[in-house]
């Protein structure tokens, strides 16, 4: 069984900003959850069969039949005060969800679910998370998915109120087209690039 993630990657300017903030978090609070992860927005993660790489040539182009434009907007810094995964305060750049993103997530989930493997014994905090995980292989789907670029999740940190206050004052606006999504293999905190999928509109 292999755990993969499907990511949208930020443009260089946003990537540099996220990387700089990650360095500031590490300097102020030491190693924190998500801090070592490359800048990305997660469409989903999933446990799949090990032969997924053999399907690469069939999964390198993806067409969407939609009239919605393939872009998204970053609108502001935000925070999950009680992240259901880390139980920490997760700081991130919020992406305004649109119909294109919702369609993209669900269509890719449907395609990759053909190779899904059950994560036996995996339990989440909320019932809806477990229901989604059983159905899709990922707990955050549809209206439960809040697309974002994570900086870090602050846990067991002291004197972080001013840092969070300053973070939430950051002005950030960006419109980013989605021409590709990227497949990574996850091994604990390591993210290993596998391949990219071109997104085309019919």
The Cα-based distances of 47 to 39, 81, 104, 140 in angstroms read 21, 27, 19, 15
How do the pLDDT tens digits run along the chain, 202 residues long?
889 999 999 988 999 999 999 999 999 999 999 999 999 999 999 999 877 877 777 788 877 777 788 889 999 999 999 898 899 999 999 999 998 999 999 999 998 988 888 766 678 878 999 999 888 889 999 999 999 999 999 997 878 899 999 999 999 999 989 999 999 999 988 999 999 999 988 7
Q: Which CATH number belongs to the domain containing residue 61 in this structure?
A: 3.90.1140.10
Beta-bridge mates of residue 150: 92
Residues 6+ apart with CB under 8 A from 67: none
pTM assigned to the model:
0.90
Q: Which residues of 78-109 are buried (b: 16+ CB within 10 A; e: fewer)?
A: ebbeebeebebbbbbbbbebbebbbebbbbbb
Domain containing 171: what range? 2-201
How high is the pLDDT of residue 38?
94
Q: What is the tally of structural domains in the chain?
A: 1
Distance separating alpha carbons of residues 165 and 36, to the nearest angstrom:
23
How high is the pLDDT of residue 120?
61
């Amino acid at each position: 069984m292999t755990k993969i993630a499907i990511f949208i990657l930020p443009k260089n300017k946003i990537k540099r900003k996220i990387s700089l903030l990650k360095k500031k978090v590490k300097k102020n609070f030491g190693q924190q959850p998500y801090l070592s992860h490359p800048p990305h927005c997660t469409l989903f993660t999933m446990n799949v069969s090990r032969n997924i790489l053999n399907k690469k040539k069939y999964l390198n182009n993806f067409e969407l039949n939609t009239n919605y434009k393939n872009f998204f907007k970053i609108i502001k810094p935000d925070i999950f005060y009680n992240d259901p995964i880390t139980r920490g305060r997760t700081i991130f750049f919020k992406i305004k969800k649109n119909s294109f993103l919702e369609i993209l997530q669900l269509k890719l989930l449907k395609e990759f679910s053909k190779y899904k493997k059950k994560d036996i014994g995996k339990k989440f905090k909320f019932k809806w998370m477990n229901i989604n995980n059983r159905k899709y292989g990922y707990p955050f789907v549809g209206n439960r998915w809040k697309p974002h670029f994570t900086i870090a999740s602050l846990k067991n940190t002291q004197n972080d109120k001013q840092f969070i206050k300053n973070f939430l004052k950051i002005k950030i606006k960006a419109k980013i087209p989605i021409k590709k999504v990227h497949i990574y293999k996850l091994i604990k905190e390591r993210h290993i690039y596998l391949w990219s999928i071109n997104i085309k509109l019919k």
